[in-house]
Amino acid sequence: MNHLTIGIVGSGPGEALPDLTIYKHTVDLWIGADRGALHILRSGLEIHDAVGDFDSVTAEEMELIREKVSNFNKLPSEKDETDLELALNKAFQLQPATILLFGVTAGRKDHELINIQLLYRILEKGIIGKIIDRQNQLVLTKPGTHTIERDPDYPYVSFVPFSEVVEGITLNGFYYPLENETITWGSTLCISNELSHESGNFSYRRGILLLIKSRDS
């Protein structure tokens, strides 16, 4: 494992994307999944790989991507993996420390839900994975103690059980602290909290927990 940070951009609606140029000094290389390659190019960023069936771009847009990207991999539309999963497999080959996913939420709910589940594949490989869109940041975590910093761009903090049960949740440095609570699927106990200090921490002893930082618009 190295310190490489890879940014993968999917085909999600452009209006849901954050400004990708904000991450130009954070991301070491970019991978475009289908129309995501076009999003990267239109942001003035260089692409390391473009992969997918490119059924969400026009013929002219595909030629532009082919011209600008040296590692261009067009695949048949009938395949076992989604374009995003193919891009993720490309990223795994490079053994990064962090993978940031953009353009993978909003739009079709089936794609959005499975894309959030892809965070589990990233987590299991010991890689930090984060989904970022204009209103949200999502990170999947394992048991232990985790530090969280106040982010004025994403002030609300929610915790959603990814596993059926999450045990022993403790929140410190939040407006609504908790001590050794258990939450299950469907629980709203840990929705829409905020940090009361510049940083705080959360811990739990069993389960898998999805951290969501968000804003209203």
Looking at domain 140-214, its CATH class is mainly beta
Lowest mean pLDDT among 65-74, 128-137, 167-176: 65-74
Q: Could you give the C-alpha distances from 160 to 54, 60, 145, in angstroms and in order? A: 33, 42, 16
How confident is the model over 34-45, as a mean pLDDT? 96
Within 8 A by CB and 6+ apart from 60, the residues are none
Task: Calculate the average pLDDT of the chain.
Answer: 95
Give residue 28's Cα distance to chain centre: 16
Fold equal for 5-134 and 140-214: no
CATH topology of domain 5-134: Rossmann fold (3.40.50)
Instruction: pLDDT band for 78, please (50, 70, 90 cuts).
Output: confident
Residue extents of the structural domains in the chain: 5-134, 140-214
pLDDT higher than 90, residue 64: yes
Q: Residue 125: helix, strand or coil by DSSP? A: coil
What's residue 1's pLDDT?
55
| pLDDT tens digit sequence for 166-189 | 999 999 999 999 999 999 999 999
Side-chain-side CA neighbours of residue 139 (13 Å): 17
Residue 81 is predicted with a pLDDT of 87
Mean pLDDT is lowest, of 35-39, 73-77, 133-137, for 73-77
Q: Please give the model's pTM, rounded to 2 decimal places.
A: 0.94
Question: If we measure between CA atoms, which residue out of 71, 100, 75 comes closest to residue 88?
Answer: 100
